Amino acid sequence: MQNDRPMSTENAVLESKYNVTAWFYDILDYPWERQYRRWRPQLLRDVAQKVLEAGVGTGRNLRHYAPGVELTGIDLSSKMLAKARRRSRNAACAVELIREDATALTSCPESHFDWVVSFFLCCVMPDALQPLAVRQFERVLKPGGRFRLLEMVYSEDPALRRRQEYFAPFVEKVYGARFDRDTLQHVENSEKLRVTNTYFLKKDIYLVIEGNRLP
Ligand SMILES: C[S@@+](CC[C@H](N)C(=O)[O-])C[C@H]1O[C@@H](n2cnc3c(N)ncnc32)[C@H](O)[C@@H]1O
Protein backbone atom coordinates (compact mmCIF):
# COMPACT_ATOMS: atom_id res chain seq x y z
CA MET A 1 0.00 0.00 0.00
CA GLN A 2 1.32 3.49 -0.78
CA ASN A 3 0.28 6.90 0.47
CA ASP A 4 0.73 9.54 -2.23
CA ARG A 5 -0.62 12.50 -0.24
CA PRO A 6 1.50 15.68 -0.59
CA MET A 7 3.63 16.31 2.49
CA SER A 8 5.31 19.23 4.26
CA THR A 9 8.66 20.57 3.08
CA GLU A 10 10.30 19.39 6.33
CA ASN A 11 9.07 15.86 5.68
CA ALA A 12 10.12 15.98 2.04
CA VAL A 13 13.64 16.93 3.21
CA LEU A 14 13.66 14.09 5.76
CA GLU A 15 12.41 11.63 3.19
CA SER A 16 15.23 12.45 0.74
CA LYS A 17 17.76 12.40 3.57
CA TYR A 18 16.66 8.91 4.65
CA ASN A 19 16.43 7.66 1.07
CA VAL A 20 20.17 8.37 0.88
CA THR A 21 21.06 7.41 4.46
CA ALA A 22 19.25 4.07 4.00
CA TRP A 23 22.17 2.76 1.92
CA PHE A 24 24.60 2.94 4.85
CA TYR A 25 22.22 3.41 7.82
CA ASP A 26 22.82 0.02 9.43
CA ILE A 27 26.60 0.35 9.15
CA LEU A 28 26.63 3.91 10.44
CA ASP A 29 24.30 3.07 13.30
CA TYR A 30 26.12 -0.13 14.27
CA PRO A 31 28.06 1.26 17.27
CA TRP A 32 24.77 2.48 18.81
CA GLU A 33 22.76 -0.52 17.65
CA ARG A 34 25.02 -2.76 19.76
CA GLN A 35 23.45 -0.99 22.72
CA TYR A 36 19.92 -0.67 21.30
CA ARG A 37 19.65 -4.36 20.46
CA ARG A 38 19.75 -5.18 24.17
CA TRP A 39 16.88 -2.75 24.80
CA ARG A 40 14.61 -3.63 21.89
CA PRO A 41 13.40 -7.07 23.13
CA GLN A 42 12.76 -5.77 26.62
CA LEU A 43 10.81 -2.77 25.28
CA LEU A 44 8.68 -4.95 23.01
CA ARG A 45 8.04 -7.89 25.35
CA ASP A 46 4.54 -6.80 26.46
CA VAL A 47 3.50 -5.30 23.11
CA ALA A 48 0.57 -7.29 21.72
CA GLN A 49 -2.34 -7.50 19.27
CA LYS A 50 -2.66 -4.77 16.60
CA VAL A 51 0.48 -2.64 16.67
CA LEU A 52 1.51 0.45 14.73
CA GLU A 53 5.25 1.03 14.60
CA ALA A 54 5.81 4.59 13.40
CA GLY A 55 9.19 5.29 11.77
CA VAL A 56 9.99 1.58 11.44
CA GLY A 57 13.29 2.42 9.69
CA THR A 58 15.31 -0.60 8.56
CA GLY A 59 13.13 -2.88 10.70
CA ARG A 60 15.43 -3.45 13.66
CA ASN A 61 12.45 -4.12 15.94
CA LEU A 62 10.69 -6.60 13.69
CA ARG A 63 12.20 -9.84 14.96
CA HIS A 64 11.37 -8.93 18.56
CA TYR A 65 7.58 -8.80 18.24
CA ALA A 66 5.65 -11.77 19.67
CA PRO A 67 4.08 -14.21 17.16
CA GLY A 68 0.50 -13.05 17.87
CA VAL A 69 1.22 -9.41 16.97
CA GLU A 70 -0.31 -7.93 13.81
CA LEU A 71 2.22 -5.27 12.95
CA THR A 72 1.78 -2.29 10.67
CA GLY A 73 5.12 -0.58 10.17
CA ILE A 74 5.17 2.83 8.53
CA ASP A 75 8.00 5.03 7.35
CA LEU A 76 8.45 8.09 5.13
CA SER A 77 11.38 6.56 3.29
CA SER A 78 10.78 3.85 0.70
CA LYS A 79 14.50 2.95 0.84
CA MET A 80 14.40 2.41 4.62
CA LEU A 81 11.24 0.34 4.10
CA ALA A 82 13.00 -1.79 1.47
CA LYS A 83 15.56 -2.76 4.14
CA ALA A 84 12.75 -3.39 6.64
CA ARG A 85 10.99 -5.59 4.12
CA ARG A 86 14.05 -7.85 3.95
CA ARG A 87 14.22 -8.00 7.76
CA SER A 88 10.50 -8.80 7.99
CA ARG A 89 11.38 -12.32 6.77
CA ASN A 90 12.82 -12.99 10.22
CA ALA A 91 9.76 -11.68 12.05
CA ALA A 92 7.64 -14.15 14.02
CA CYS A 93 4.52 -12.03 13.55
CA ALA A 94 2.42 -10.79 10.63
CA VAL A 95 3.98 -7.62 9.17
CA GLU A 96 2.57 -5.02 6.79
CA LEU A 97 4.91 -2.22 5.74
CA ILE A 98 3.54 1.02 4.31
CA ARG A 99 5.16 4.18 3.02
CA GLU A 100 3.29 6.66 5.14
CA ASP A 101 3.78 9.91 7.03
CA ALA A 102 3.33 9.68 10.82
CA THR A 103 1.86 13.19 10.80
CA ALA A 104 -0.95 12.09 8.46
CA LEU A 105 -1.48 8.29 8.78
CA THR A 106 -4.05 8.45 6.00
CA SER A 107 -4.02 4.67 5.54
CA CYS A 108 -4.69 3.95 9.23
CA PRO A 109 -8.28 3.71 10.47
CA GLU A 110 -9.49 5.42 13.62
CA SER A 111 -9.38 3.54 16.96
CA HIS A 112 -7.70 0.58 15.25
CA PHE A 113 -4.48 -0.16 17.16
CA ASP A 114 -3.89 -1.64 20.62
CA TRP A 115 -0.37 -0.24 20.64
CA VAL A 116 1.66 2.55 19.04
CA VAL A 117 5.41 1.99 19.23
CA SER A 118 7.96 4.48 18.02
CA PHE A 119 11.72 4.50 18.60
CA PHE A 120 13.88 7.46 17.59
CA LEU A 121 11.18 9.01 15.41
CA CYS A 122 10.29 12.14 17.36
CA CYS A 123 13.94 13.18 17.88
CA VAL A 124 14.08 13.26 14.07
CA MET A 125 10.78 15.07 13.62
CA PRO A 126 10.74 18.90 13.77
CA ASP A 127 8.90 20.22 16.87
CA ALA A 128 6.34 21.96 14.61
CA LEU A 129 5.26 18.56 13.22
CA GLN A 130 5.19 16.62 16.47
CA PRO A 131 1.70 17.74 17.60
CA LEU A 132 0.42 16.43 14.25
CA ALA A 133 1.98 13.03 14.88
CA VAL A 134 0.65 12.99 18.47
CA ARG A 135 -2.82 13.77 17.12
CA GLN A 136 -2.54 10.83 14.74
CA PHE A 137 -1.40 8.50 17.53
CA GLU A 138 -4.49 9.58 19.53
CA ARG A 139 -6.73 9.01 16.54
CA VAL A 140 -5.51 5.54 15.57
CA LEU A 141 -5.21 4.12 19.10
CA LYS A 142 -8.21 2.32 20.55
CA PRO A 143 -9.54 3.83 23.78
CA GLY A 144 -7.28 2.33 26.46
CA GLY A 145 -4.66 1.49 23.82
CA ARG A 146 -1.04 1.92 24.87
CA PHE A 147 1.99 3.70 23.47
CA ARG A 148 5.72 3.51 24.06
CA LEU A 149 8.18 6.02 22.60
CA LEU A 150 11.97 5.94 22.89
CA GLU A 151 13.83 9.19 22.26
CA MET A 152 17.23 10.81 22.77
CA VAL A 153 17.47 14.00 24.82
CA TYR A 154 20.21 16.23 26.18
CA SER A 155 21.74 15.07 29.46
CA GLU A 156 21.75 17.31 32.53
CA ASP A 157 25.34 16.20 33.16
CA PRO A 158 27.60 19.00 31.78
CA ALA A 159 30.33 16.60 30.59
CA LEU A 160 27.86 14.34 28.79
CA ARG A 161 26.05 17.30 27.32
CA ARG A 162 29.32 18.72 25.96
CA ARG A 163 29.92 15.39 24.21
CA GLN A 164 26.40 15.43 22.78
CA GLU A 165 26.89 19.01 21.60
CA TYR A 166 30.10 17.96 19.85
CA PHE A 167 28.24 15.24 17.92
CA ALA A 168 25.02 17.24 17.42
CA PRO A 169 25.89 18.77 13.99
CA PHE A 170 26.80 15.32 12.62
CA VAL A 171 23.68 13.71 14.12
CA GLU A 172 21.46 16.40 12.62
CA LYS A 173 23.14 16.33 9.21
CA VAL A 174 23.01 12.58 8.78
CA TYR A 175 19.86 11.57 10.70
CA GLY A 176 17.95 14.86 10.98
CA ALA A 177 17.90 14.07 14.71
CA ARG A 178 18.29 16.57 17.55
CA PHE A 179 18.64 16.16 21.30
CA ASP A 180 16.50 19.20 22.12
CA ARG A 181 13.08 18.14 20.81
CA ASP A 182 10.18 18.66 23.25
CA THR A 183 8.54 15.29 22.65
CA LEU A 184 7.44 14.66 26.25
CA GLN A 185 5.80 18.08 26.31
CA HIS A 186 3.98 17.44 23.03
CA VAL A 187 2.59 14.15 24.35
CA GLU A 188 1.64 15.73 27.68
CA ASN A 189 -0.21 18.48 25.78
CA SER A 190 -2.52 15.88 24.28
CA GLU A 191 -6.02 15.81 25.74
CA LYS A 192 -6.53 12.20 24.74
CA LEU A 193 -3.19 10.61 25.61
CA ARG A 194 -2.10 10.12 29.21
CA VAL A 195 1.58 9.68 30.07
CA THR A 196 1.76 7.04 32.81
CA ASN A 197 5.51 6.50 33.03
CA THR A 198 8.80 7.99 31.91
CA TYR A 199 12.23 6.56 32.57
CA PHE A 200 15.75 6.55 31.17
CA LEU A 201 17.46 3.50 29.74
CA LYS A 202 20.98 4.86 30.02
CA LYS A 203 22.19 7.90 31.92
CA ASP A 204 19.62 10.63 31.34
CA ILE A 205 19.85 10.46 27.54
CA TYR A 206 17.59 7.65 26.31
CA LEU A 207 14.09 8.54 27.42
CA VAL A 208 11.14 6.13 27.35
CA ILE A 209 7.68 7.72 27.36
CA GLU A 210 4.77 5.37 28.04
CA GLY A 211 1.07 5.81 28.43
CA ASN A 212 -2.35 5.12 27.05
CA ARG A 213 -5.25 6.66 25.22
CA LEU A 214 -7.97 7.74 27.57
CA PRO A 215 -11.16 5.68 27.30
C1 LIG B 1 16.47 7.43 13.39
S2 LIG B 1 15.49 6.43 12.33
C3 LIG B 1 14.88 5.23 13.51
C4 LIG B 1 14.50 3.94 12.85
C5 LIG B 1 13.94 2.85 13.78
N6 LIG B 1 12.77 3.30 14.50
C7 LIG B 1 14.95 2.30 14.73
O8 LIG B 1 14.67 2.21 15.95
O9 LIG B 1 16.04 1.89 14.28
C10 LIG B 1 14.08 7.47 12.06
C11 LIG B 1 13.11 6.92 11.02
O12 LIG B 1 11.93 7.74 11.03
C13 LIG B 1 11.50 7.95 9.70
N14 LIG B 1 10.66 9.15 9.68
C15 LIG B 1 11.03 10.44 9.85
N16 LIG B 1 9.96 11.25 9.79
C17 LIG B 1 8.89 10.45 9.57
C18 LIG B 1 7.50 10.69 9.41
N19 LIG B 1 6.97 11.92 9.44
N20 LIG B 1 6.68 9.64 9.19
C21 LIG B 1 7.19 8.37 9.15
N22 LIG B 1 8.49 8.09 9.28
C23 LIG B 1 9.33 9.11 9.49
C24 LIG B 1 12.78 8.05 8.90
O25 LIG B 1 12.57 7.82 7.53
C26 LIG B 1 13.63 6.97 9.58
O27 LIG B 1 13.46 5.72 8.97
Residue 97 lies in a domain: yes
Q: Which pLDDT score, from 0 to 100, does residue 200 have?
A: 97
Q: Please write the tens of the pLDDT for every residue from 21-59.
A: 999 999 999 999 999 999 999 999 999 999 999 999 999
Which atom of ligand 1 lies nearest, measured to the CA of 29?
Answer: 9
Distance of CA 168 to the CA centre of its chain: 19
**Rounded-to-10 torsion of CA 39, 51, 10, 184:** -60
Query: Residue 152 forms beta bridges with which residues?
Result: 206
Query: pLDDT tens, 45-101?
Result: 999 999 999 999 999 999 999 999 999 999 999 999 999 999 999 999 999 999 999
DSSP character at residue 64: G
Predicted confidence at residue 7, as pLDDT, reads 67
What is the 165 CA–ligand 1 centroid distance (Å)?
Answer: 22
Residue 4 pLDDT > 80, yes or no? Answer: no
Distance CA 102, CA 121 (A): 9
User: Residue 148: its pLDDT value, please?
Assistant: 98
pLDDT at 202: 85
Q: What is the mean pLDDT of residues 104-115?
A: 97
pLDDT over 70, % of the chain: 97
Q: Which residues line ligand 1 (CB under 6 A)?
A: 11, 14, 18, 54-57, 60, 74-77, 80, 101-103, 119-121, 124-125, 175, 177
Task: Residue 14: give the domain boundaries.
Answer: 9-213
Asked if 118 and 102 count as a contact pair (C-beta separation under 8 A), the reply is yes
Centre of ligand 1 to C-alpha 76, Å, is 7
- CATH, residue 41: 3.40.50.150
C-alpha 75 to ligand 1 mean position (Å) = 6
The reply to whether 3 falls in a domain is no
Global confidence as pTM: 0.95
d(CA 148, ligand 1 centre) in Å: 15
Q: Order of strands, edge to edge, in the sheet holding 50-54?
A: 94-99, 70-75, 50-54, 113-119, 141-152, 206-213, 193-200
Q: Whole-angstrom Cα distance, residue 97 to residue 52?
A: 10
| 3-state SS record for 169-208 | HHHHHHHCCCCCCCHHHHHHCCCCEEEEEEEECCCCCEEE
Q: Is residue 2 part of a domain?
A: no
Domain count, the chain: 1
Which residue's CA is the closest to the ligand 1 atom numbered 1? 120
Q: Is 120 part of a structural domain of the chain?
A: yes
Residue 4 lies in a domain: no
Q: Which of 71, 131, 72, 138 is nearest to 103 (CA)?
A: 131
151 assigned to some structural domain: yes
The mean pLDDT value of the chain amounts to: 95
- What is the Å distance from ligand 1's center to 67 Cα? 24
